Structure 1
Amino acid sequence: MKYAKWTVLTLIALIVFGFFHYTLPQHDIVRVVNTYQERQDLNDWTRIFWAKPDDQSTGLINRDVQFIQTVKANNKPMVYRNEDTGWSWPPYFKFDTANLQTEAEDAKSTAAAPEWVSVTHYGWRIEYFSAFPNAISIKRVEGPDVTIIPWFNIFFFVFLGFVLLMLRRMWLQFRERSIDPVLADVEEAWDSVDQRADEAAERARGVWGRFRAWLGTWKGKPRR
C-alpha cells in the first residue's frame, strides 16, 4: 500500500511538472537560418501539439503553418512553429504571427557572420510526433553566451507558492473552526457510548454473579 501511494504521488508530480514545463515560457539562444511555410495534417491525436486559434475551425484536418529554422551555439538544429494562440490555451494572446515571421526573416544569418537572437517559446520539440515548440517572440542578443533570467517563471512560482500557502492556511482555519469541533463531539459521543456499554456489561456481570451465588446456596441444602 505504501508503494502504491508513492507511485500515485510520483505520477501526479510528473504530470504537474510536465504541464508547467510545456506551458510556461522558455528562452533559447539561437541563430535563424531560414523561414518557410508548410501544410500540416491535423487529423490524428497529435493535433494537441498544434495551436487552436479562435479564427480557425477545430474541424480543419490540415492548414498552412509557418516555421522558423534555427541553429544553437552547439550546432544543434531547432525548428519552431509560428502560430497564433488567440484567446485559447495557453494564454499568450498571440496575434502577430505575420510580424514575428518577418522579424525572423530579417534576423537570418550565416555561420560565418552569426547574429544571435533569443527565442521565447512554449511547448516541446518531439521529432517522433512532429511536434514543434511555438515561438512567441524574438529578441536580438549580443552573443550565444548571454544569460536570460526567466523573470515571468520566477514570479509565477512565487505567486503560486503564496496562493498554495494561503489555501493551506484557510484550510487549517476551516478545519480548526468547523471540522475539529465536530470530530471532538463525535469522539466524545463515542466515548460516552463505550462508557455506557461498559456500565451495562458491569451490571450484567453483577446480575449474573448474584444469580450464580444464589444457585450456589442450593448446593449445600439436603434433599427431603
Structure 2
Amino acid sequence: MWDIIKWTFWLLIWAVVAAFLWYTLPRNDVVRISDTYQKRVDFGDNSLFWAHSNTGERTDVSGRDVFFIQAIWPDGEPMVYRNEDTGWGWPPYFKFNTSNLQAVASDLKSGEDDPKWVAIKKYGWRIQFLSIYPNAVSVKRVDGPDATVIPWVAISILFVLGSIWLAIWSRWRRFRSRRIDPLLDGE
C-alpha cells in the first residue's frame, strides 16, 4: 500500500511540474493573422492566467484594455492570442513591447486568397470555456504553413533543468549510499 501512495505522490509531483513547464515555456504556432483588436477586460476567476498590470499602468482598477490577435490555423480552425506585457513578473519574458507587437501583427494581416503565414511565439494555454488565451511574445513571417520553427529557448531551458536535476539526483544517491545506508545497515 505504501508503494502505491509513494508512486502516486511522485506521479502527481511530476504532473504538476510538467503542466507548469508546458504553460510557461515558449512554443511556436504557424498561423495566418486575420484580425487584431483591443478590448476592455474585467478579470474574474481566471485572473491567474493574465499578466499583472504593474507595467506602466494604473493598478487600482479591476480591468484594463488588452490587445488580441485573431489567427487561423492552416486547417482553417480559429485561434485567438492575447498580447500583453509580462513586465518583470512571471514568466520572465521581460516583454514590454505590446504596442509594437500589435503594430507588426496588424501589418501582417491577410486573407484566405493571399495568405501571409507567421510564426507566433507564445506561452500559455487556450481554454475556451474559461476565456483563457495564450500570450503572444513575438511574431515573425515564415515561408508557408509547413514552416518548422525550432523552439531553441525551450530546448535550452529543459536541458539546463535536466542537467540540474541529474546533478542533484546523482549527488543525493552518492550521499545516501555513503552516509545513510551504512547507518541503517548497522542497526
Fold-level match, TM-score > 0.5?
yes
Deviation at 1:91, TM superposition (A): 0.4
Matched, 1:108 2:109: yes
Ranges in structure 2 where 5+ consecutive residues have no aligned partner? none
- Counterpart amino acid of residue 168 in structure 2: L
Match of 1:122 in 2: 123
Please identify the structure whose Cα radius of gyration is greater. 1
Look up the match of 2:175. 174
Of the structure 1 ranges 50-59 and 105-114, higher mean CA displacement relative to structure 2 is found in 50-59
* Aligned counterpart, 1:97: 98
Q: Percent identity at matched positions? A: 50
Determine helix, strand or coil for the equivalent of 1:63. strand
- How far is the alpha carbon of 1:182 from its aligned partner? 3.7
The structural deviation recorded for 1:111 is: 0.4
Helix, strand or coil at the partner of 1:73: coil
CA–CA separation in structure 2 for the residues paired with 1:109 and 1:59 = 38
Change (3 A) 1:64 1:107: same
SS class of match (2:46) = helix
Which residue identity does 1:7 align to in structure 2?
A: T
Q: Can you give the 5+ residue segments of structure 1 that lack an aligned partner in the other structure? A: 188-224
Q: In the alignment, does 2:79 pair up with 1:48?
A: no
Structure that is richer in helix per residue: 1
For the Cα contact (< 8 Å) 1:53–1:87, is it kept in 2?
Answer: no
Structure with more relative contact order (C-alpha pairs < 8 Å, separation 6 or more): 2
Aligned in 2, Cα 1:40/1:170: closer, same or farther, shift over 3 Å? same
Whether 1:165 aligns to 2:166 is yes
What is the TM-score normalised by the length of structure 1?
A: 0.77
Q: Following TM superposition, by how much is the alpha carbon of 1:48 offset from its aligned partner in structure 2, in angstroms?
A: 0.6
Match of 1:203 in 2: none
- Show the 5 A alignment for 1:210-221: none
2:150 — aligned with what? 149
Q: Higher strand fraction: Structure 1 or Structure 2?
A: 2
Q: Measure, in 2, the Cα distance between the counterparts of 1:35 and 1:161.
A: 38
Total equivalences in the alignment: 185
2:168 paired with 1:183:
no
| Residues 3-40 of structure 1, C-alpha deviations (whole Å, 9 max, x = no match) | 43343333222212111111000100011111110000
